[in-house]
Chains A and B, each alone.
Chain A
Amino acid sequence: MADYKYKRITLFAGHYGSGKTNIAVNFALRMRAEGKAVKIADLDIVNPYFRTKDSMRELSEAGVELISPSFANTNVDLPALPQEVYSIFHHPDTYAVLDVGGDDRGAYALGRYTPYILEEGDYEMIYVANFYRPLTTTVEDTIEVMREIESACGIRFTSIINNSNLGNITTADTINATIDRADRLSAMTGLPLIFTTVVDTEGVNAPNLMKLNLQEKYFDIKEN
């Protein structure tokens, strides 16, 4: 990731369950490790589970400011966003990562900030792709989801991350089998494929690998 130049605002959106939150947290921690002042905002008002706040300890220890709905992880299903999100637009010297909810349903909540983001201009809107998710196994279905998200929030994607994985049985072959589709998605949308995510880089035949640290799990079920 050495060559990648961070924009002031980085947004992660994509299909439900494609791994946006995990990548957003990794992104924020990397920026911070490079010495930048970083805020990360959880804009997901659709899903009460698997939140940015699950990484609260890690983020706060690293010195990343977490902006999270007051009701996140309280098991209260309340679709409210905190006013602190606006601080992102009032502190142009700080880098910001926005973790958007899944699908068009999750992206509607981003719409209220769209005028600020577009006015500022220095942003990257990243589509997180997982070709192993059942409703986005093809390039065509993926593009449909991308267009739905763009219509819902009013911001067009500027780049793609290939996060194709099968959870804990992911191998290099699992990822390699999606490289063609990721390239075709990039060609058909005209958007650069900026990273392919891996946990282990060995045997993965794609340029620009981004090594991920997985979020802490509530509990781990071993397979026997």
Chain B
Amino acid sequence: MSDKVLMKGNEAIAEAAIKAGCRHYFGYPITPQTEIAAYMAKRMPKIGGTFLQAESEIAAINMVYGVAGAGYRVMTSSSSPGISLKLEGISYIAGADLPALIVNVQRGGPGLGGIQPSQSDYYQATKGGGHGDYHLIVYAPASVQEMADYTIKAFEVSDKYRVPAMLLADGTMGQMMEPVSLPDVPVVEVDKPWAVRGTGKARPHNIINSLYLNPETLEKTNFERFERYRLIEENECLYEEYMTEDADVIVVAFGIAARISKNAVVEARKRGLKVGMLRPITLWPFPNKPLRKLADTAKGFVSVELSMGQMIDDVRLATECKRPVSLCNRTGGMIPTPEQVLESIEKMLKEVE
């Protein structure tokens, strides 16, 4: 009958990566994403892939750097404190223009924080995190199905632009179980003439490198990279609009916060309130254009986040501060309820009336 299976978000990421042709996983365990590593440990040996539990997060990301340089689909995963450790390597991968997938199943922070869900690594994921002029393409799935779908998408887009991608989930998305259908994706072998995997004495050596001591050359590589970023902003931005057309108040939320907010929007509509939602699916590139457009018709915005308010900055920038933007949030591993979101919506409606 159905081709559906019941999976945890973490497992869906792992299986989808395998479907996408990823045969190399390097990681180090940390709650709440350890199931990704556990799943890979079981599956990779059976399909001729490599699972390696590295001695640390730093070692794991540098193994990713190596395999990415050889031109193979490769990934690592961790949770907030572990991603902080990986940032140096991520910057090097971005600087060397290599495709790779980094998964962050966020937990509360800062520091060692806790093991409950959070979205407080938004700045880290979208504003660099590591050093230097670079971006990651950041996907924010909001269901177990999307955990699978955007893992596959992330590999494809990362390969296409030679830019590392991040899947930014949270502890809830990682741990919750939902029915999911895993697509049989035809694995497209992307031509990677830059890859370091032997010259066969037929061509000059390829060099994978992020060191450019000549400032003119470094500036040139950054200009070239940002030209690709411009193309990504133009072509790869994803978002979902829900009942926004006639809405006076727009809720902006991603991931688990969007799942909760949707319930609040439905309840608001039942009460006759004109409320809609914009859910960014890519956090970078951020859906600036649709938000700017909504600022012409809507009267106010509510940013719902599992943090002290990070995405709210991007909502303000996108709407060019034309409309008031309020924050509805919980943090440290706490989750806002639909009722709390509804209260914030009603408060904003009063403010803009």
* B8 beta carbon closer than 8 Å to chain A: yes
| Contact in complex: B262, A132 (CB < 8 Å) | no
| Contact in complex: B266, A132 (CB < 8 Å) | no
A17 to B178, CA, bound (A): 11
Q: Closest approach, in angstroms, between the C-beta of A219 and any C-beta of chain B?
A: 7
| Contact in complex: A219, B337 (CB < 8 Å) | yes
| Contact in complex: B5, A221 (CB < 8 Å) | no
| Contact in complex: B115, A167 (CB < 8 Å) | no
Q: Which 8 A-B pairs have the closest CB atoms?
A: A166-B179, A132-B6, A134-B5, A177-B1, A75-B115, A221-B259, A132-B5, A224-B266
| Contact in complex: A75, B2 (CB < 8 Å) | no
| Contact in complex: A166, B262 (CB < 8 Å) | no
Q: For B176, give the chain A residue with the smallest CB separation.
A: A221
Jot down 10 A-B pairs with beta carbons below 8 A, ordered by A.
Answer: A16-B35, A17-B8, A17-B11, A50-B175, A75-B116, A165-B6, A167-B6, A177-B1, A219-B337, A221-B259
Q: Closest approach, in angstroms, between the C-beta of A215 and any C-beta of chain B?
A: 13
Q: Per-position contact with A for B1-37: 1 when CB-CB < 8 Å, else 0? A: 1101111100100010000000000000001100100
* B297 beta carbon closer than 8 Å to chain A: no
Which residues of chain B have C-beta atoms less than 8 A from A202's C-beta? none
| Contact in complex: B31, A166 (CB < 8 Å) | no
* B49 beta carbon closer than 8 Å to chain A: no
Add 9 more A-B contacts to A133-B5, A166-B2 (CB < 8 A).
A16-B35, A17-B6, A49-B175, A75-B114, A132-B4, A166-B179, A169-B4, A221-B263, A222-B266
| Contact in complex: B179, A169 (CB < 8 Å) | yes
Say whether, besides A133-B5, A133-B6, A134-B15, A167 and B114 are in contact (CB < 8 Å): no
Contact of A167 (CB < 8 Å), options: B32, B179, B182, B259? B179
Contact of A224 (CB < 8 Å), options: B114, B182, B263? B263
* A154 beta carbon closer than 8 Å to chain B: no
Q: Per-position contact with B for A95-137: 1 when CB-CB < 8 Å, else 0? A: 0000000000100000000000000000000000010111101
Contact of B5 (CB < 8 Å), options: A137, A177, A224? A137
A56 to B7, CA, bound (A): 26
* A174 beta carbon closer than 8 Å to chain B: yes
| Contact in complex: B2, A174 (CB < 8 Å) | yes
* B260 beta carbon closer than 8 Å to chain A: yes
* B42 beta carbon closer than 8 Å to chain A: yes
**Chain A stretch 9-55: residues in CB contact (< 8 A) with chain B:** 16-17, 48-50
Which residues of chain A have C-beta atoms less than 8 A from B175's C-beta? 49-50
Q: Per-position contact with A for B134-147: 1 when CB-CB < 8 Å, else 0? A: 00000000000000
A49 to B173, CA, bound (A): 13
Say whether, besides A77-B115, A166-B179, A134 and B7 are in contact (CB < 8 Å): yes
Max count, chain A CB within 10 A of own CB: residue among B35, B177, B260, B333: B177
Say whether, besides A169-B179, A174-B2, A219 and B335 are in contact (CB < 8 Å): yes
A9 to B343, CA, bound (A): 50
Which residues of chain A have C-beta atoms less than 8 A from B259's C-beta? 221
Which residues of chain A have C-beta atoms less than 8 A from B115's C-beta? 48, 75, 77
A16 to B115, CA, bound (A): 19
Q: Closest approach, in angstroms, between the C-beta of B20 and any C-beta of chain A?
A: 16
Q: For B12, give the chain A residue with the smallest CB separation.
A: A134
Q: Closest approach, in angstroms, between the C-beta of B241 and any C-beta of chain A?
A: 14
| Contact in complex: A77, B1 (CB < 8 Å) | no
A78 to B256, CA, bound (A): 27
Q: Closest approach, in angstroms, between the C-beta of A151 and any C-beta of chain B?
A: 15
Q: For B39, give the chain A residue with the smallest CB separation.
A: A135
| Contact in complex: A166, B1 (CB < 8 Å) | no
Q: Closest approach, in angstroms, between the C-beta of B179 and any C-beta of chain A?
A: 4
A224 to B266, CA, bound (A): 8
| Contact in complex: B1, A173 (CB < 8 Å) | yes
Which residues of chain B have C-beta atoms less than 8 A from A169's C-beta? 4, 179
Q: For A218, give the chain B residue with the smallest CB separation.
A: B335
A166 to B180, CA, bound (A): 9
A130 to B262, CA, bound (A): 31
Which residues of chain B have C-beta atoms less than 8 A from A222's C-beta? 263, 266
A68 to B115, CA, bound (A): 19
| Contact in complex: A174, B1 (CB < 8 Å) | yes
**Chain B stretch 218-267: residues in CB contact (< 8 A) with chain A:** 259-260, 262-263, 266
Q: Per-position contact with A for B96-127: 1 when CB-CB < 8 Å, else 0? A: 00000000000000000011100000000000
Q: For B179, give the chain A residue with the smallest CB separation.
A: A166
A26 to B7, CA, bound (A): 22
Which residues of chain A have C-beta atoms less than 8 A from B43's C-beta? 135
Which residues of chain B have C-beta atoms less than 8 A from A173's C-beta? 1
